[in-house]
Each structure stands twice: as structure tokens, then as C-alpha cells.
Amino acid sequence: MAKNEELVFGIHAVNALLKAAPERFIEIWLLKGREDERLMPIINLARKYGLPAQMVNRKVLDDKSKGEQHQGVVARVKQGKQLSENDLDDIIAQAERNNTSPFLLILDGVTDPHNLGACLRNADAAGVHAIVVPKDNAAKITATVRKVAVGAAETVPLVQVTNLARTMKTLQKMGVWIIGTAGETDTCLYDVKLSGPMALVMGAEGKGMRRLTRENCDQLVKLPMAGSVSSLNVSVATGICLFEIVRQRLVN
């Protein structure tokens, strides 16, 4: 596979990318004998756009997806545009043009592709305008991330920045309030007003946010934990925090 190409697998991931950017598709492989109602939309879109689609046996799909759950479809596509800090101005301006307060999710050191995929899915459901991650030591969009995100990788922009602390300062100058989650604070998430332009920062499991990231937050909050477990999976905690922000936005 060429350097500027990638694989996409899974019904939701392939279907979402077909709808969003059919021009990126090079070829599609489908499980022979499986033309059920879940795969037919992909088959029909491939025909509509004149894309080469081959019916192959399961072993071919298993080999191409390296054993991951492909759900009977794998595609080879051209890589999409990678967003950087230079794109944040446009993302925030677009949100404001739509009369909505900018709503961002910042992930600091989340390296597990399954967690990134789940965070993308949460972000899409909560109406987040973009996810911001550092370029280094962070999960990137891969076939596994797309599969876990069930289509959200095509709807929520992933912005990779060179210096996360500097990007946070830039966002603050643009009027974005940055709230970070940290176990050592006494302030509970549910006791804080969460309205207006906002970015939620979630750190890696175990380590949490890095020191510079923590220092550049406007406020730190924690989730109340009643049981014996000291922390939640980062994607679960992200979903809880995002939807508390959504709840307060709906009330206000």
C-alpha cells in the first residue's frame, strides 16, 4: 500500500466515508455471499460512484484487516487532509457563524486507538466541533479508530497540534474557557457552570494530564467516585463530562 493510502474497515466506517468523500476510494473488498441489508447501502453507493468492488472470501478480508473485526467490508482509500493548529480559527469561526458556542475536546496523551475511537463517537453525539490532540505520543486516525468510532471519524475533525500548551493559550485568547479533569482537585464537575465557548481536557488513563497541560487549564474538576475503583476509562469519563456540558447548555 502506498504511503498516502490507508485501509478502512467496518460497515459504519466505510459507509460514512463513502457518503462524506467518495473521491478518496480506490477499491473496496466485500465478503462473498453476503449481500444483506447492512452491506447493500455500501454496494449501492459503490455502484453509484463507479468504484471497483470485489467479492472475496473471508480469509482475504481477515488478512487485509490483520485480524480486526471488519464486518465483511474493507476499503483502500487515499489519506484525507490532516488538520493542524492553523485550522482551529476556521473551526471556531464556523461554530460562531452557526450561532453556537465553540465546543472542543482536548485529549492529552490518549494513545489507545479504541479509546480515541470511543471519544470520537462521544464527541459526535455531544456536538463537539473538533478534538485536539498533540502530534506526538497520541493515537491518530487509523482503520481501528474509524471502526470503533462507527462513522464519527468522518464528522468530528481531529486537529493535531505541535505544542498543546501553546494551542491552549491561543484558544484562551480567543475566549475559550478550558476546563480540565484531575483527581486531585476538590471541585466536582456538577458544581461548576459550564456554558459559553469551552474546551474540555481529558488526560491519559493513569497518568492524567501532563503538568504543562494542567497548568494551562482555567479550572480543574473531578467526577465524584463512590465505589472502590479510583478512575474510569477515559472514553467513559469523557462521555460523562461532555454530556454534563450539553445538559447545562440545554438548560441555559
Q: Residue 61, annotated ligand binder?
A: no
HSE (side-chain half, CA atoms, 13 Å) at 8: 30
User: Quick one: DSSP state of residue 69?
Assistant: -
Please give the Cα distance from 91 to 102 (Å, whole number): 8
Q: Provide the pLDDT for residue 228.
A: 63
pLDDT digits (tens, 9 = 90+) for 10-49: 999 999 999 999 999 999 999 988 777 888 899 999 999 9
Q: Residue 33, annotated ligand binder?
A: no
Q: Provide the pLDDT for residue 230.
A: 64
Q: Residue 242, annotated ligand binder?
A: no
Low-confidence stretches of the chain (pLDDT < 70) are: 228-230, 252
Domains and CATH numbers, the chain: 5-78 (3.30.1330.30), 85-251 (3.40.1280.10)
Please give the Cα distance from 77 to 200 (Å, whole number): 32
pTM of this structure: 0.89
